[in-house]
Chains A and B, each alone.
Chain A
Amino acid sequence: MAVRENIQEKELPSDVVNTPIRKQVTDLDHAGGDTGAMQVFASLSDANVVLDGPVGCHVMPAVAVINYTDSVPYLQNVTCSELSETEVTLAGTLGVLKEKVGEATVAGRQVFIVSTPVSELIGATWTTEHAHIPGSAVFFDSHSLDDDEWKSRDRALLFLWQNRDHFVPRPDAPARLPKLRPSVNIIGPTYGNFNSYSDLAEIKRLVAGIGADINLVYPFESASGDTKHLADADASIVMYAEYGRSLAREVGLPTFFAPIGLEPTTQFLRGLGKALGLEAQADAFIRLEKKTTLAAWHDIWRSTHSDFFANAPVAIIAPPTYKDGLTYYMGEELGLPILYSAYRTGPESAPNEAVRAALADASPSPMVVFGSINERMIIAQEKMPSLFFQCSFPGAVVRRATGTPFVGYAGAVWLLQCICEALFDTLFANLPTSAAPPARATVATRDTMRDSTEIVSSSGKGQNSVISWTDEAKALNEKTLKRVPFFVRVSVAKKLRAEAEALARERSSDVDAGIIAELTARYSPRK
């Protein structure tokens, strides 16, 4: 559903949605509240963020991890209060914090103080007599002992709106232009959000395509002083369902969500067009897209590529927006069997153990697993024959080129292209022979034919005889083949048979379960 004009109270992440806190955690899949809030505030162009914590709470998210999620060497507008044992056990954080806030307070920059687990544990806050002065430092309690990154992002965005009158526009901020056309807010992304650079570029392209202007891309391309101007738009687009909804609801404009898939994108464009009074332009744009961006989609759809879709199963494990979006697009629109799908993050989030069990037991194994590094490790550790395609964090990746969107028409084309490439990769990995150069002839056929009367029957377990298979071997063979995607099963069957019989000949035995087990242990999609 693309058009949303009323967001229900129970849908608001700030109030309700949080990833459950489990008794035991294996391979965590989400960051915490301090990280989420920092990623929101640091996205504002005039923000200086001070994390109230030890150096590790700053360096881990803002130097180490950010380099592998956003390919940014480090966040230059983030620092921390550098708590040491003195502050934690005796002095409290206010002294060091004041010093850091003082350094960060420079003309044209708004300071945001964010709590961390250690500061929350010792009950540190920020109370000064300057709180009422516009532009003074503001304190955000990130609930980092309890809240996940997504809930925290949502709360932080709402916090910005609630404090909109506190923020001072930069003296050098360009004057706001008179409004000529209907305009929209794009709420989200922030730092640390998988693939957001491409998704944002696609949403901007769609908005421009129907003839609307962008009021604000918030927080990424805005300053804190712009916050109050969110109200100047005619509609809001929330990029990811995980956060930004509470802000959109408070701003109070018709709200749309970034669409994944063909039909959702069409609905999105029509809905947005209607809300902005640009219905005719939206329809014209959709017609044009069919001849341009989507021509590739239609060509692939009409090709033999799509014949394999029904036999190319996938598994999708991701935060809600991508999990729901990919499941719909691949399952409903493309017709790929969805063997397994699960949420990472949010109230229905699946624990790692459940994902591992589901993936390892799947028969056939998925051709592609869409997931994070957690799934990538499961594929490797469980020796699954599946390809991996990253669709969420954690996991080091570079997604800064803007040509890899999941949302919009361009996203539909990109994902379709990726599926086809996965098909080809799987096919190649399972081609039945790599005999280059070919095996040498060991006998001169003519001579043998002339000299021997019983070349086949006399050779027993020799070169040309038929090798027999034990029942256990057949059963194991069957079981192995069932794990392989259907469309390459014939290739794999040939390869397994050839290798098993070669081994049996070498050992002068039948093909037994031991041989099959030995071969399948070697088996992996890249070999």
Chain B
Amino acid sequence: MSKQPSSMCPAFGAVRNLLRMEDAMPIVISSGDGCLYGHTFVAHFYVANRPIYSPGVSSEIWAKGSAFDELRAMVFKMAEEHQPSIIPICSLCVSDTVGLPFDLLPKQIGNTEIIYVPLPAYSVHTHARAKDIVVDSLVWRLPPQRKARTGVNLIGEIFPSDPIEIDEVLRKIGTHVNTHVPGPRWADYVAMVDGALNAPVHPFYSESVKRMKMKQGLPFIEGAPVGVDGTYTWITSVGRELQLNPATVETVARQEQAKVRAVLDQRSLDGLTFMVAGYEGHEFLLVRLLIEAGAKVPYLSTAVNTNPLAREEEAWLAERGCKVLYGANFGDEIAALTDRPYDCVIGTTPLCAHAKELGIPSIYYTNAMATRSMMLAKGAADVIDLVRQTVGAKVRYDRIARFFADDETHLERTYTSWAPKLDLTEHLIANQAL
């Protein structure tokens, strides 16, 4: 049985966010060419059209310890030639195990901040945790909080228009969005010290918000403005935490809640059963929307580990018959597919590949869901429309599944042929303790 959660190389969660920063020049210290090839391949496919710099590595270089000298020379050269705002140094499995003396690097060269980002993937475990590490490493460099502080810091990758929509709502209750990270500029992070409240809209930023509370005295709230209940709760939490006018907050929260409800009422998912499995960490929010639209989601399988920021989400889901399985490895889900008639699967590539093989409409979470807005009424409409469109294509999935069903060699190589087969959906839920 698999013990570790299924995840894209966890370190990539960090590498991608850093590569998207326009005034950063990340250095990736890879474990070897296989490792670096993977990171650059996917980064150049969907992260950014820009060079990726690495010191060369080999067994001899590790043994001689010369990697650090090369790195040091590289950092100075890059800082002097290009003067970026920051040079984040992503240290992956091998360099972090070997233990390069990163402390000996200067903290600043000219105006460039040199920031070490520890990413030994074997102990980071999840993509989501790596994103938390980035925010944490960057923000830790900032000075303690200033006196005058105002507005809400949004933390979490969201759709480009989300901060604008959220800002509009916040202005109605007397505050605003101060900054949003992960953002494209170092200034987006620096601005965090001016904020009055952290709002990690995805539950996996737990370490960074905890440390910001400790160092900068910045409080935080849980949850996100997603779905009928979520939208109301989030707006009122902001109001309570910032001591805004309770009557105004209540009115605005009710208005926004009503808008989301209207959207969901027009887009019923009644009678449909979904399997949701993700490694990104915002699967909770999606399931919330599905359930509120009337769908049945027996359980949520997520690669992220148990997390204090997700407790309220978990309780909300549990009340509605959805169990959360943390640190999941999706071999079990693949086996469970054949046991229960799911109408739609939203999951990882392997899981969706199997679902499609069985004629079940499915979408890859990362490509289709993670890139969409889920926030407020607009986001709810967007997500549920996509889901309904997918479920509506059942006939097409069936037709193809029937055509290929007699191809024995096609099924011969399946992972499930050598994975345990006893895992029924009920069994999975019952064994949450495992």
Contact = CB atoms under 8 A, between A and B. Distances in A.
Interface in B82-131: 93-94, 97-98, 120-123, 125
Contacts of A60: 8-9, 12, 34-35, 38-39, 42
Contacts of B52: 26-28
B38 A145 contact: no
A65 B10 CA distance: 15
Nearest to B123: A85
B49 A381 contact: yes
B53 interface: yes
Contact of A57 (B3, B33, B35, B70): B35
B19 to A, nearest CB: 12
Contacts, number: 219
Contact of A103 (B7, B39, B49, B418): B418
Interface in A54-100: 54-57, 59-61, 63-65, 67-68, 73-74, 76-77, 79, 82-85, 87-89, 96
B33 to A, nearest CB: 3
Interface string B234-276: 0000000000000000000000000000000000000000000
Interface in A362-412: 373-374, 377, 380-381, 393-396
Nearest to A35: B34
Interface stretch (A113-121, A130-138, A224-232, A267-275): A113-121
Interface string B52-67: 1111111111100000
A21 B56 contact: yes
Interface string B29-46: 001111111111110110
B417 interface: yes
Contact of A84 (B42, B61, B123, B353): B123
A511 B403 CA distance: 65
B414 interface: yes
A405 to B, nearest CB: 24
Contacts of B6: 55, 59
A280 to B, nearest CB: 37
Contact of B413 (A28, A30, A76): A76
A27 to B, nearest CB: 5
A63 to B, nearest CB: 6
Interface residues of B, number: 63
B144 interface: no
Nearest to A83: B122
Give the residue among A65, A68, A83, A117 with the most B Cβ atoms within 10 A: A117
B37 A63 contact: no
Contact of A373 (B7, B44, B54): B44
A109 B418 CA distance: 10
Nearest to A378: B51
A243 to B, nearest CB: 15
B209 interface: no
Contact of A118 (B41, B44, B97): B97
A512 interface: no
Contact of B57 (A79, A145, A396): A145
A64 B42 contact: yes
B221 interface: no
A117 B49 CA distance: 27
Contact of B56 (A23, A55, A116, A373): A23
A118 B33 contact: no
B55 A23 contact: yes
B192 interface: no
Given A64-B41, A149-B34, 11 more contacts: A24-B55, A28-B37, A28-B54, A48-B418, A54-B122, A63-B8, A64-B38, A82-B4, A88-B97, A103-B1, A117-B93
Interface of A: 19, 21-28, 30-36, 45, 48, 54-57, 59-61, 63-65, 67-68, 73-74, 76-77, 79, 82-85, 87-89, 96, 103-104, 106, 109, 116-118, 120-122, 144-146, 148-149, 352, 373-374, 377, 380-381, 393-396
13 contacts: A21-B58, A24-B55, A28-B33, A60-B8, A60-B12, A61-B37, A64-B9, A83-B122, A88-B123, A121-B31, A149-B34, A373-B45, A395-B44
